[in-house]
Amino acid sequence: MSGALQYLELQRNERPELAEWYDALADLYERKLWHQLTLKLEKFVALPVVQAGDALIQLYHNFISDFETKINLLKLAHFAVVVSQKYAEKEAAISYLEGIIEKLHATRQTRIEEPIVYVKMQIAAIKLEMGAPKECKKLLDEGKTTLDSMTDIDPSVHASFYWISSQYHKCCQEFAEFYKSALLYLAYMQVESLSEIFKLDLAFDLSLSALLGDNVYNFGELLAHPIIKSLLGTKAEWIYHILQAFNTGNLARYQELCKVYNSALNAQPALVANEEKLLEKINILCLMEIIFSRPSEDRTIPLKIIADRTKLAIEDVEHLLMKSLSVRLIEGIIDEVEGRVHVSWVQPRVLGVPQIQSLRDRLDNWVSKVRTALISVESELPDLVAFS
């Protein structure tokens, strides 16, 4: 009997509640059904009872290592990452993962880049936990270079890269970069597979980074994402309402929310430290909402209208317009003599339901005008024919 089967037999005797699992693993191993064995192992290692202690480490060294290069190598990388999380010492976990990378190289198989990047991202995560962000960043840069050179990449590899990237940017308090990376991570994940606590934490972090991130002015994509609903019914629901106010550029609503949720806002040092920046951002979004709400043929706007909506002085409105022009949220010309701005273009946005309803009303109005013009032309058509 091989060492792998002896290990399964020993475990079957020590843990009779898992006897059926060990019997199934032994059967698939003896029949060399590596694909089916891999699928069975995926379910087995996900069991809470198997996750406890160093059971996964023992499973790898006494069983999986016997046939590890015979299974799908990306699946091997998945197993290796799960096992590495059970090491008490981070250096031991890194040493184990580096050994996996050496084994992957030794197989000389094609497309080993995917599993290697996946394993390296776990090393990067551990480095970040150890307080070595520079080493984490180096691994991220290497991973990006490799992924950019590949096609048809497994979603789990992309998800791993963007998750570690988001955590690196979070550590560095780079809000906009975190926001982009975290959204890309979600693009490669099934939200339903994430735990409720994880979704709540990520939804809050995304909301915070959207508010604080430089050049993040489109909140529609986040508000339309299923994960944002995780905030509803929780103590963190206040930030969802603030996002809604920003998305519609509703300054009055934002000021009202700041009073209602004053204690929650003050509990977030980053929001307190960036109070002026937040006010400037919602004023810019208020400006964009003013522009969006006007017909395309009526985009010459008196500065006083903007001043009334934003509660800013005329000179501050000019500064707001210049800021919007500089970050290419709008294109146009400011006429200081006439006290107005002509907007020729506004950055496209992901629209919320109220904005879509407004757009529908404008389209209905346009259709009505076209219909009226058509009826007018048709009524005059006989006279035109007679005249010709």
pLDDT-based confidence at residue 245 (cuts at 50, 70, 90): very high
pLDDT of residue 108: 82
Q: Mean pLDDT throughout 243-266?
A: 95
pLDDT band at 269 (very low <50, low <70, confident <90, very high): very high
Q: For residues 293-320, give the mean pLDDT.
A: 91
User: With the CA atoms of 108, 30, 22 and 10 taken in that order, what torsion angle do they form, in degrees rounded to the nearest 10?
Assistant: -100
Mean pLDDT computed over 179-195: 95
The CA distance from 180 to 176, in Å, is: 6
C-alpha to C-alpha distances, 298 to 21, 84, 143, 249, nearest whole angstrom: 70, 61, 49, 20
Intra-chain end-to-end CA distance of the chain, in Å: 104
Query: Does the pTM of the predicted model rise above 0.75?
Result: yes
pLDDT digits (tens, 9 = 90+) for 100-114: 999 999 998 878 999
The amino acid sitting at 366 is: W
CA 270 to chain centre: 20
pLDDT of 379 strictly over 90: no
Q: Which residues of 239-269 are buried (b: 16+ CB within 10 A; e: fewer)?
A: bbbbbbbbbbbbbebbeebbeebeebbeeee
The pLDDT tens digits of the residues spanning 14-62 come to 999 999 999 999 999 999 999 999 999 999 999 999 998 899 999 999 9
CA distances to 278, 322, 354, 381 from 319, rounded to whole Å, are 15, 5, 29, 53
For residue 353, what pLDDT is reported? Answer: 58
pLDDT tier for residue 1 given thresholds of 50, 70 and 90 = low
Q: Are 184 and 162 a contacting pair, CB within 8 Å?
A: yes
Averaged confidence pLDDT in the chain: 92
- For residue 356, the model assigns a pLDDT of 61
The residue with tokens 């006279």 is 383
Helix (H, G, I), strand (E, B) or coil at 346: strand
pLDDT over threshold 90, residue 268: yes
Whether the CB-CB separation of 282 and 246 falls below 8 Å is answered with: yes
Give the mean pLDDT of 175-204: 96
How confident is residue 299, by pLDDT bands cut at 50, 70 and 90?
A: confident
What order of strands is seen across the sheet that includes strand 340-346? 300-302, 340-346, 330-335
